[in-house]
Amino acid sequence: MPNSLAGRLILDTAQDGPWNMAVDEAILDTSDVESRPTLRFYAWSPATLSLGYFQSWSERSAHAASRECPAVRRQSGGGAILHDREVTYSLTLPFSHRMARHSRDLYLVVHQGLLAVFFEEFGIHASLVPDRLADSSPQQPFLCFQRRSPGDVILEGHKVAGSAQRRRKGAVLQHGSLLLGKSEFAPELPGVQEITGVAIPESEFIRRWSALIGERLGVDWSCEGLAAREQKVAHRFWESRYANQSWNTRR
């Protein structure tokens, strides 16, 4: 695309929760060196519960279906997410990018791109949660996908995609999940397949979604992996934080 920025697209294989979260933080932490947009898609193995940064560890005991799953604490806020039959992404932008300046703008770029892929490729009509329907109750459900925030993606009344952000060192990280199907570890949450009867081909969906995100951000993606420095920083975060049970359970 003419006059576009060079960006990096990372298509990762399935990894455990601590490593996935360590990589996201490493990309954000080294963004002053990379200084270019990075879009990463990844999966989780085994199925993992991620707690929002401010959630209490003790809350997870109240959710019986996920008790046997490993758990990790995210660097972003919000409710707990059961990562299983889903697509997870992270998008890191330097503050110099126009879309990094306002949180809502970046949510809309990604989520409106998702709506477009739903409709254009699969004939699925989804929508965004308007401000007036957001849940402002101080007592929020444990699971993120039972909450409603402005800009969340809903399908026939069910939330199927949401995102959260973290800002640091001149960059913003936004990561989120799309529920493709129901997990046995969170059976109260239907995915796109249960709601519509459509089985989304994951690789094709990622290809189209990443292209639309790139168009809307003015970024031309090039498939690459982590740089050596990012790998080193990710291992440090993995050891000191996400694979460290005392760090995960500290709240």
Active site members: 144
Per-residue tokens: 148: 């409603």
Residues 6 or more apart in contact with residue 206 via CB below 8 angstroms: 11, 41, 87
Angle at 183 between CA 41 and CA 164, to 5 degrees: 45
Q: Which residues pair with 219 in a beta bridge?
A: 5
Q: Which residues pair with 30 in a beta bridge?
A: none
* Cα–Cα distance for residue pair 75/140, rounded to 1 Å: 19
Per-residue tokens: 220: 């031309």
Residues 6 or more apart in contact with residue 96 via CB below 8 angstroms: 35
Per-residue tokens: 86: 């889903």
For 36, other C-beta atoms within 10 Å of its C-beta total 16
Is residue 8 a contact partner of residue 38, using CB atoms and an 8 Å limit? yes
Is residue 69 a contact partner of residue 48, using CB atoms and an 8 Å limit? yes
Residue at token pair 């990604």: 110
* Cα–Cα distance for residue pair 110/105, rounded to 1 Å: 9
